[in-house]
Structure 1
Amino acid sequence: MILYGKSWSRRELEARVGKIEQIAGIKRFKGIEGNETGVEQIQVRTGAGLTYYVTPSKGLDISLAEFHGVPISWQSPNGDAHSALYDAADNGWLRTASGGLLMTCGLMQVGSSGKDDGESLGLHGRIHHTIAKQVAAVSSWSDDEMDMNISGELEETSIFGGCLRLSRQISSRLGKNEIFIQDEVRNMGFQRCPHMILYHFNFGFPLLSEETEIHFKDTYVQARENGNSIHGYKEWHAPDANYQERVYYHELQGEPEVQIINHHFPFHNGDAKVQATLQWSSDTLPKLVQWKMPGAGTHVLGIEPANCHVEGRHKEREQGTLVFLEPGETVKYSLRLLLI
């Protein structure tokens, strides 16, 4: 493996530490205060500068992410509020959504609250507020490479309703600043079931500054609201308390990639260029939603690969774009975040 600018064998590293977690590894925590009481987090340190916290208590999503001790993600004012506090009605999701590097939206509803097929649906669905089960957090060696893997399952079910299971694996490798997300959703029921999913990545200060560049590879972009200009969708701004959120839809022309580049990222010993690159498979995530919100407090860029837009399930059904899974059918999703 390559670490600290040199090539090392496993035994060479082990000879220099009492425990490999001195350099990198996995550690589990539990919150003991306020609305985070009882919330479990799993810290992953790659040893190359990337640290992030996976939250089994909230969708097996990713909360705070840091690069060399400096945050790259946006945290909401709610903190990592426990899922027991979640209100599924209307826009109650906004009171307990954590922000963080990743919030998964779905599995049967994404976007605006409303009614569909006689069912009341809240904003962005339930999966971000679902507690994972069969959670495993394992570091394992293969020759001279150490992988850190977190896996678990989440279910969204209802009597006389849908029954979807999300199996998730999040992995990183010692010495590399990458996160891989491998998901599989299966219809465990015996009726076809609507399936909507959106990966709500949230980037924040100080990765985002007035000089930050945002590059979209091979996309055609339009504003969600008719009449809104797309001017400035690749730019960032200083916080503005009066800024009104903007949402853009990107039509993918090839294999998707989004780069967020800050040429003056503030490391502790000076600034340097940092680039965050998000990639995913367009086979199952053919849409990209961009949420631009350089507000005061809510100062966040959302990059959101999805199989739908964000007007809600009723709108997808009206447009004939609602995705369904047949009984027993599975669909797989693959995403990669790289920091250099």
Structure 2
Amino acid sequence: MRDIQLGKSPVIHLDETSVLDIGSCIVEGINIAPGRAIPDDGDPRIDHSLEGFLFTCGPDHIRHPQPIEGDTTGRKYPLHGSFSSHPAEITAWDVGEKRARIAADIPVRLATGGTALLQRVWTIDGATGEVALDDTITNTSDTVQPVFLMYHMNVGARLFDDKVQLEGDMLEGGGFNWRFGEEPGSVFCVQATGNEDWATLRLGPIASLGGKSLTAQFRTDTLPYLQIWRNQKAPAHVLGIEPVSHRWVSREELADSGEFNMLQPGETRSYGLRFHIA
């Protein structure tokens, strides 16, 4: 992994072995990623990714494994799709005193045998501390392919006290305590709403980080839903903020209702996310 930090930004560790996702994220000398306080889903790719601060799900599938359509051998789409574990080919590493831009190409082999290309650009603004991600996915197969995407921003809930809140226009009442739902964990998915095609979610204040809050924003044109997940079933102790391209229903239901985003060969789709901790 490569470390990078500018001005007010956190120290982020970019994982070249797995689509240039973020491993550790250091704020006030504390790694806010969950580390090994995560559930074991039996997939070492996801174990590696989930313990970091941000990992990317897709592009051929999101969420839990489901059967591959038309496959007579019983194969399933892998947990959270095929992205994880694909190495990044760095195309730019431009780090100045006030701004950084890191770019990479990630060729991806899909579970069905097709291919895709993820072109990823990270930028960091040292003055504001904002970390921004712009992604473009291209269907490099010779046949039409559906494209899905979910960002998992995972925070170690060991850092939270009872005063930590989730706040956002898409949440009921504008927000609520981070321990939502039933114990020892819960999940929900809502339609994202925001201003000028960007939705905003705030998590905090986090006393263990000096009262700082995590503010995440994401494009609602291609990420029209927000999923929030928490798991406090030992040894897990994690909360996930998950902007996502599709509703929280089965793949079959999405197909039946015509909700797949289909890309023709050579066609692209783009996504955006940004965050700061202050």
TM-score grouping bracket, smaller chain normalisation = 0.7 to 0.9
User: 84, 87, 91: which one pairs with 1:128?
Assistant: 84
Q: Structure 2: 5+ residue runs without aligned partners?
A: none
Task: Note the aligned Cα RMSD (angstroms).
Answer: 2.7
Matches within 5 A, 1:4-153: 41-48=1-8, 50-76=10-36, 93-119=45-71, 120-140=76-96, 146-153=98-105
Q: Aligned partners of 2:132 and 2:102: how far apart in 1?
A: 10
> Which of 251, 254, 260 matches 2:191?
251
* Cα separation, 2, equivalents of 1:110 and 1:44: 29
Q: 2:221 aligns with which of 277, 280, 283?
A: 283
Structure 1 position 265, deviation (Å):
3.0
**Could you say which structure has the larger radius of gyration?**
1
Correspondence for 2:134 among 173, 182, 190: 182
Distance 1:263 1:62 in 2: 20
* DSSP 3-state at the match of 2:84: helix
1:283 shift after superposition: 0.8
Matched, 1:172 2:149: no
Mapping for residues 133-282 of structure 1, pairs under 5 Å? 133-140=89-96, 146-157=98-109, 161-205=113-157, 207-219=159-171, 234-237=176-179, 243-255=183-195, 256-262=199-205, 264-266=207-209, 272-282=210-220
**Alpha-carbon contact 2:56-2:83 (below 8 Å) kept:** yes
Q: Deviations over 1:84-131 (max 9, x none)?
A: xxx9xx856544434211010011111111213124212101212211
Q: Which residue is 2:259 aligned to?
A: 321
Higher relative contact order (CA 8 A, sep 6+): 2
Structure 1 distance, partners of 2:184, 2:255, is: 28
Amino acid at match of 2:161: S
In the TM superposition, residue 153 of structure 1 has moved relative to its aligned partner by: 1.1
1:295 counterpart = 2:233:
yes
What amino acid maps onto 1:63 in structure 2?
Answer: G
- How many residues were matched structurally? 266
1:308 to 222, 240, 246: 246
Identity within the alignment, %? 23
Deviates more, 1:103-112 or 1:243-252: 243-252
- Residues 260 and 77 of structure 1: is their aligned pair in 2 closer, same or farther, counting only changes over 3 Å? closer
Structure 1 residue 70: Cα displacement? 1.9
Q: What TM-score, normalized by structure 1, do the two folds share? A: 0.70
TM-score calculated relative to the size of structure 2: 0.85
